[in-house]
Chains A and B, each alone.
Chain A
């Protein structure tokens, strides 16, 4: 069945992790659903690369953190924070593609 990430998530956010990395946190509402999406690996390097139109090697890590029913993805920042051409100094408004993410489960 089709599942929209925003329907099952309590938190979907983005933020700088230092000036050279951008990190995304997804926290789920429910443990059963968390185990299911973790099992199905619905958030992986390729998914993040496709959602953000970046090469897969720019996805630095995907870490599952069951304590907080969370999964974290970190990518290379498109530009170092505050460089000429910057659009989001804090990196706090880059989460929307994850919100729109719909997958089969």
Chain B
């Protein structure tokens, strides 16, 4: 079996990568260029609002290099999790960028576009049929959450991408995608071992993060063989070592041996990591165990109201020594001074005390000379959130506490205006498994002829 070479450009499309690394990869004549943009790490806002967390100018820069090289080399490109969250609105933003580049550079491609977003009606049917399962500590899915969600996507596996490549697509542009699938689909289609292809994809999806020094914005090359694969970073300043590559399987996962994904799980417990050179590592022994009924992971987000925040500092030792009592009193005072006929949530984050860890913070006594306070107001409309924040802020500014001698004001505001209107906010509403007997046609695929 011939060696199959995969060029991974960056951990997220739009993170950027050095041209020198990219062209060093292109010189090695890769068989595939792939990149995944997906992550739930930035939180629920981007999926919920439909706003991509990847920057359009940066995405266009990355894609231009990728598409021009793929056109010249006649090789496929697979992009996963468009715009980061992979709903149709994110996908469409990226597709506009692709069309612009094709026009500007006079390229020509057959492109497949695979949607990962679902109609609520379909998901309600699946819920009633018992096909939606609880996943880890996430709550059970109920019909109200489905109805309230603004976008619900599923992470596609390799199957719909393989189908699109089989039908002759040179570019496959995917909505939400299991990160390794963008890398593994083409080699699996060509008959390479599924476990090795997926494990290689798992490493390549973070680009050079598994090198040392690691980076999500530098290129990495994968070399897939019949019984093993190898990885090597394309920037001579980085190297892969058995420790750097094996340690990568720890990253952002609960268990480094068992990695569940669409259609089954990877078992890496029998893997060996061997140095091939001082910069390249060979991996063998990855195994894949298919599920009886394939599953895909659902992700949904819903609007949770509107937010207004105010940021201020305090440098008064008497105030700081009583800050917990003062903020508890402020919460009560805000209730009585506002007489709200709407629901709201008022939280305070106190930096210098437990701002980062909250209830998990083991240190109870603060020794700092100054603290930062974030007033966080969430309500059912922007105006209501503004009102809660305004009343809490003005009340705290002049709040009288025992022993107070700095009577002009309790807060140092860095900004005018002091209150920041954040707009609508979102929370994760669905995180669950959907069982399906048809992991291909679950995801709608359409084809588009680009260029002449």
Contacts and interface: CB of A to CB of B under 8 A. Distances in A.
Choose among B271, B359, B425 the residue with the greatest number of A CB atoms under 10 Å from its CB: B359
A77 B360 CA distance: 10
A18 B431 contact: yes
Given A63-B257, A80-B427, A90-B41, A15 B360 contact: no
Given A80-B427, A94-B357, A20 B255 contact: no
Nearest to B297: A18
B252 interface: yes
Contacts of A88: 356-357
A70 B247 contact: yes
A90 B357 CA distance: 12
Interface string A28-66: 000000000000000000000001111000001101010
Contacts of B273: 67
A83 B358 contact: no
A19 B428 contact: yes
30 contacts: A15-B251, A18-B136, A19-B44, A19-B431, A20-B431, A23-B253, A52-B360, A52-B362, A53-B362, A60-B254, A67-B242, A68-B247, A68-B250, A69-B243, A70-B247, A80-B428, A80-B431, A81-B41, A81-B428, A82-B427, A84-B305, A84-B347, A84-B378, A87-B358, A88-B356, A89-B42, A93-B357, A94-B357, A96-B357, A100-B362
Contacts of B45: 82
A65 B256 contact: yes
B254 A84 contact: no
Choose among A15, A81, A82 the residue with the greatest number of B CB atoms under 10 Å from its CB: A82
Given A19-B431, A63-B256, A81 B250 contact: no
A74 to B, nearest CB: 4
B256 A53 contact: no
Interface string A86-104: 1111100110110010000
Interface of A is mostly: loop
A60 to B, nearest CB: 7
A82 B44 contact: yes
Contacts of A82: 43-45, 426-428
A78 B358 contact: yes
A21 B356 contact: no
Nearest to B273: A67
Interface string B9-53: 000000000000000000000000000000011111100000000
B337 interface: no
Interface size class of A (residues with CB under 8 A): 35 or more
B56 interface: no
A83 to B, nearest CB: 5
Contacts of A97: 357, 360, 362
Interface string B270-299: 010100000000000000000000000000
Contacts of A12: none
Contacts of B256: 63, 65, 68, 70, 72
A17 B260 CA distance: 12
B326 interface: no
Given A16-B252, A54-B360, A68-B247, A85 B42 contact: no
Nearest to A73: B254
B397 interface: no
A5 interface: no
B246 A67 contact: yes
B379 to A, nearest CB: 11
Contacts of A18: 40, 136, 138, 431
B69 interface: no
A2 to B, nearest CB: 18
Nearest to A91: B41
B42 A17 contact: no
Contacts of A11: 247
Nearest to A58: B137
Given A20-B137, A76-B137, A80-B427, A87 B357 contact: yes
User: Closest 4 CB pairs between A and B?
Assistant: A82-B43, A68-B247, A67-B246, A74-B254
B285 to A, nearest CB: 11
Contacts of B304: 83-84
B355 interface: yes
B41 A60 contact: no
Contacts of A65: 246, 249-250, 256-257
B345 interface: yes
